[in-house]
Amino acid sequence: MQTATIQTAAPLLEVSDFSLHRGAAAVLDRVGLTLRPGETLGLIGESGAGKSTLAMAVIGLLREPEVGLSGSLRFHGEELTGLAEARYRKLRGNRIGLIFQDATAALNPCYTVGAQIAEPLRRHLGLSKWDARERAVELMTSVGIPEPRLRLNAYPHELSGGMQQRVMIAIALACNPELLLADEPTSALDVTIQAQIMELILERVRALNSSAIFVLHDLALGAQVCDRIAVMYAGQIVEEGPSAEVLARPLHPYTRGLKSCVVELGSEDLQPIPGQVPPLNAMPEGCRFAPRCPKAQDVCRRERPAPETRDGRQVACWFID
Amino acid sequence: MLGSAAAKLGQTLLVLLIVSVASFAFLKLAPGDPVSIMLGSDFSQGAYDQLVHDLGLDRPMAVQYWHWLAAFVKGDWGTSYITSQDIFELAVMQALPVTLTLAALSLLVALVIGIPAGVLAALHRNSWVDVAATALAIGGNAFPSFYLGIILIWVFGVGLGWFPTLGFVAPWEDFWQGLWHLVLPAITLGAWYVGLIARITRSSLLEVLGQPYIQAARARGEPGWRVVWVHGMRNVLMPLVTVIGLQLGGMLRGAVMTEVVFALPGLGMMVTTAVLNREYIVVQAGIMLTGLLFVVVNLAVDQTYQFLDPRLRRRT
Ligand SMILES: Nc1ncnc2c1ncn2[C@@H]1O[C@H](COP(=O)(O)OP(=O)(O)O)[C@@H](O)[C@H]1O
Ligand SMILES: [Mg+2]
């Protein structure tokens, strides 16, 4: 990846000061992110940090009146938060694709996989029934599904979990989206094929020259597959920057905690940092990480640190060393 | 798959056995002596014993049951003492089609009103639309069929004169006239089902719309109406068919009431008349036919369910 050109290109996705409220609780709190064309970003954080919520908000699936959005989400410079639904529909599945965590649950059990792959092709590209089928066969081949013509008429339950996820990838990439959102695309799969599916998604993203946001909870994996890393904690982005630098020299105590966990224990099941994420309705006033932070001072508990830019990285901490 | 099919067949046969034994026993236990009725008022003991022997009534019950069942299967159901009509002809050729037509039309009415009402209630959960649909559902269930039927007759038949109030014209002889006569009965019987269908549609759709595959459809840019009617309702069909099948007994009971209120010559009317006339042989035919109908429709529902759910469908 030529970092120089990426840095200067106009942003593909610009999230700034973006908050999402459910009732009084801020599930996402003043999130800021920039993704340039061709760039891949790893969104890392514990379960419940708001990673899926952010992905769903970007593709416009959290627009019910009871969900409060504020701040800005820009795609190619176009503001998405107030976008008309008809216009948003033309982006979904077409210019923005989404891969779900659990392909088994994300495929409609009553329709064949061929029908579900053909759907965005017919809707967004206006292909005829026949052309959509032919294109679906090509897509299935491209994601490594053997005997695609036969599988076209298979129902989801007739395929293995890995094959189902390949189908989801084919659907998400059917219209060559500029932005792919992959929400823990391998965590529901057998460990033996996780790497294989991850590799496939990366290969397809590169082949289509798309940008991608990978939601992951493994910092090391994120750093390995993505250009940039954003670490989320309790609805906030606490640190963001180039993968190699974030992994080699984490600036935020939470990132450091995540890293030491991976290095020392090598397992995501074990709790990396003592304590728990505070519940949404009882978020601390100041830094949301303060109650678990080994270095927390009075100021941390009193005031929320604003993200600070340092050497092309953003960190939200009062005590960056 | 084969195991469950065999179990289903065994279950069906068991139900048929119970129904047939029950109707046979019903005939045997019914008050009144068919032999003396057949002989009239004046007969000798010799003639009586002769007829008992000729009819096989002196043989063991099991043999009598077997003969009775064999005759039933052949369609030899006897003749009415009162009208001298062949009972098979009366029940199967005349009454059954009326009841089936009424039931089918009522189901159609219930689906056409109940499904949209349920969908609207689900999409506007906890709004006035939901409240109104729920009220409609409860109202439809709360009104006994005969009550609603009489009100409809008063208002739309007698009062406004829009629809005929009584009687039956076979739709297969005069389609429009037949339909015309069935409008009020079908609404009467269907109203009871509307509530059920609306409620099941609402709750199943709410559950389905929370599934990830619905979000996935939206994430592909599918418009709202397709998400609901194509991706959502396709998955609601299965619970809907199950519930319709389970409520079949209620439908048959409602049909009896509706036929009596509207004087439709269906199975319900046939059995009711026969009970009043103490013509137990006709009642027994009604029981058998209803039991058979029940079993056949249940099998059909089962097959439909298997066909609708790809996860149960056998690969051919
Ligand atoms: N549909 C919902 N209704 C209410 N709260 C939700 C809903 N979805 C997620 N949340 C809450 O939002 C927070 C973030 O969830 P999520 O985005 O799924 O986290 P992550 O993907 O990082 O594990 C969690 O506290 C979760 O309980
Ligand atoms: Mg998640």
Whether chain A has a CB inside 8 Å of the CB on B235: the answer is: yes
pLDDT of residue A6: 54
**Contact (Cβ atoms closer than 8 angstroms) between residue B212 and residue A188:** no
Mean pLDDT estimate for chain A: 89
Calpha distance B272→B270 (Å, rounded): 6
Question: Which chain A residues contact residue B232 at CB under 8 A?
Answer: none
Q: What are phi and psi of A74, to 5 degrees?
A: -115, 130
The tens digit of pLDDT for each residue in A220-274 reads 888 889 999 999 999 999 999 999 988 888 888 888 888 776 544 445 444 567 7
Match 């209803």 to its residue by tokens.
B290
Q: What are phi and psi of A42, to 5 degrees?
A: -100, 125
Pick from A74-83, A241-250, A304-313: least confident: A304-313
Predicted confidence (pLDDT) at residue A5 exceeds the cutoff of 60: no
Q: What interhelical angle do B248-262 and B145-152 show, nearest 10?
A: 40
**Interval A191-215 mean pLDDT:** 92
Predicted confidence (pLDDT) at residue A307 exceeds the cutoff of 80: yes
Per-window interface: B 192-221 vs A, CB < 8 A: 211-213, 215-221
Judge: A106–B216 Cβ closer than 8 Å, yes or no: yes
Judge: A110–B220 Cβ closer than 8 Å, yes or no: no
For residue B144, how far is its CA from the centre of ligand 2 (angstroms)? 50
For residue A215, how far is its CA from the centre of ligand 2 (angstroms)? 8
**How many residues in chain B?**
316
pLDDT of residue A2: 47
State the CB neighbour count (10 A cutoff) for residue A122.
17
Instruction: Report helix, strand or coil for A15.
Output: strand
Residue A253 in tokens: 């105590």
Instruction: Report helix, strand or coil for A232.
Output: strand
Model confidence at A136, pLDDT cuts 50, 70, 90, reads very high
pLDDT of residue B231: 96
**Interval A149-154 mean pLDDT:** 94
Query: What ipTM does the predicted assembly reach?
Result: 0.89
Antiparallel, parallel or unpaired: β A67-75 and A13-22: antiparallel
**Contact (Cβ atoms closer than 8 angstroms) between residue A275 and residue A234:** no
Calpha distance A96→A183 (Å, rounded): 13
For residue A44, how far is its CA from the centre of ligand 2 (angstroms)? 10
What domains appear along chain B, each with residue ranges and CATH number?
A: 2-73 (no CATH), 87-312 (1.10.3720.10)
Judge: B216–A168 Cβ closer than 8 Å, yes or no: yes
Kindly give the parts of chain B with pLDDT less than 50: 316
Residue of A nearest to B223 (CA): A89
Calpha distance B274→B277 (Å, rounded): 5
Calpha distance B264→A124 (Å, rounded): 55
Query: Closest Cα to atom 2, ligand 1: which residue?
Result: A22
pLDDT of residue B60: 81
Q: pTM of the full predicted structure? A: 0.85
Pick the ligand that lies closest to the CA of residue A23. 1
- Cα–Cα separations (whole angstroms), residue B131 to A92, A288, B134, B202: 33, 42, 5, 12
Q: Is B299 exposed, middle or buried (0-12, 13-18, 19+ CB in 10 A)?
A: middle
pLDDT of residue B278: 80
**Which ranges of chain A does DSSP label H, i.e. alpha helix?**
3-8, 51-58, 85-91, 103-106, 113-125, 129-142, 148-151, 161-172, 191-208, 219-225, 243-248, 253-265, 298-302
The tens digit of pLDDT for each residue in B203-245 reads 999 999 999 999 999 999 999 999 999 999 999 999 999 888 8
Calpha distance A9→A227 (Å, rounded): 15
Pick from A137-141, A307-311, B41-45, B285-289: least confident: B41-45
C-alpha closest to that of A254 among A290, A220, A229: A290
Pick from A6-10, A145-149, A183-187, A260-264: least confident: A260-264
Calpha distance B56→B45 (Å, rounded): 16
What domains appear along chain A, each with residue ranges and CATH number?
A: 3-95+175-315 (3.40.50.300)
Calpha distance B75→B73 (Å, rounded): 5
Higher-pLDDT residue of A270, A13: A13
Judge: A107–B221 Cβ closer than 8 Å, yes or no: no
Distance from CA of B305 to the nearest CA of A (A): 12
pLDDT of residue B210: 94
Match 């109940």 to its residue by tokens.
B114
